[in-house]
Amino acid sequence: MYEEESTPESEVESPNGSTDQPCAPSESEKASESSPEESLRAELAEAVEARQRALADFQNFQRRSLENEKRATASGRMDVIRPLLGVLDQVDLALSQDPNAVSVEAIFSGVQLVRDEMCRVLDGHGVVAIDPEPGADFDAHRHQAVVHEPSEDVAEGCVIRRLQIGWVQGDIVLRPAVVAVSSGAPSESD
């Protein structure tokens, strides 16, 4: 019998004379041949890394925002405090005077100057006085009624007198004006 010589497939000659051997799979073939499980693991690792980067970016953003807020707050305080130093200088000047050589009129005039300077500082920050005139309508948003009194001259629900000035900045009431409000004409039994 005739026996054929067997040659391993890896050593089979190609028509051009070279031996064909199975070539090693390329990287792209390996990736495409990788199991779906390995592919999912790689995607998960990428997603976890992206999440960590996003979290770190957000934490840096929060830190920078907090620092900016602190700087803005400090700057705002300085903008208010600097002008008040001028008011304090005027008070110090008044206190440095010889009490025996100063008249009551001079003291009163000095206090008026300090008040005017303080009002100028407040005005510079957009703070305006709420100072209702007698007979003005009571405004619950800008006035605080602490007394209700009968009045022949002022209509019911109107301001009789201001007891303390209020302050407003824009639409924000910093402190309402404290007022006495008319309860109307006195009754016969009063």
CATH of the domain at 157: 2.30.22.10
- Average of per-residue pLDDT across 172-188: 92
8-state DSSP, 185: S
Mean pLDDT, range 159-163, rounded to an integer: 97
What is the DSSP code (8-state) at residue 153? S
Mean pLDDT of the chain: 85
Last residue of a domain, one of 81, 100, 125: 125
Domain that holds residue 70: 34-125
Confidence of residue 21 (pLDDT cuts 50, 70, 90): low
DSSP string computed for 6-23: P--GGGPBPTTSPBP-PP
Count: domains in the chain: 2
DSSP state for residue 137 in the 8-state scheme: B
Identify whether 70 is part of a domain. yes
Overall average pLDDT of the 72-95 stretch: 88
Question: Does pLDDT of 46 surpass 90?
Answer: yes
- Co-location of 58 and 137 in the same domain: no
Same-domain pairing of 114 and 53: yes
Is the domain of 78 the same as that of 89?
A: yes
Q: Are residues 44 and 107 in the same domain?
A: yes
Does 28 have pLDDT greater than 60? no
pLDDT bucket at 93, cuts 50 / 70 / 90: confident
Distance CA 108, CA 187 (A): 42
Query: Any idea what the CATH number is for the domain that residue 80 is in?
Result: 3.90.20.20
Residue closest to 107 by CA, chosen among 91, 89, 122: 91
Please indicate, yes or no, if residue 164 is contained in any of the structural domains: yes
**Same domain membership, residue 114 and residue 48:** yes
> Does any domain span residue 12?
no
Please check whether residues 118 and 133 belong to one and the same domain: no
CA–CA dist 157, 154 (Å, integer): 8
pLDDT of amino acid 99:
85
- Asked whether residue 164 carries a pLDDT value surpassing 90, the answer given is yes
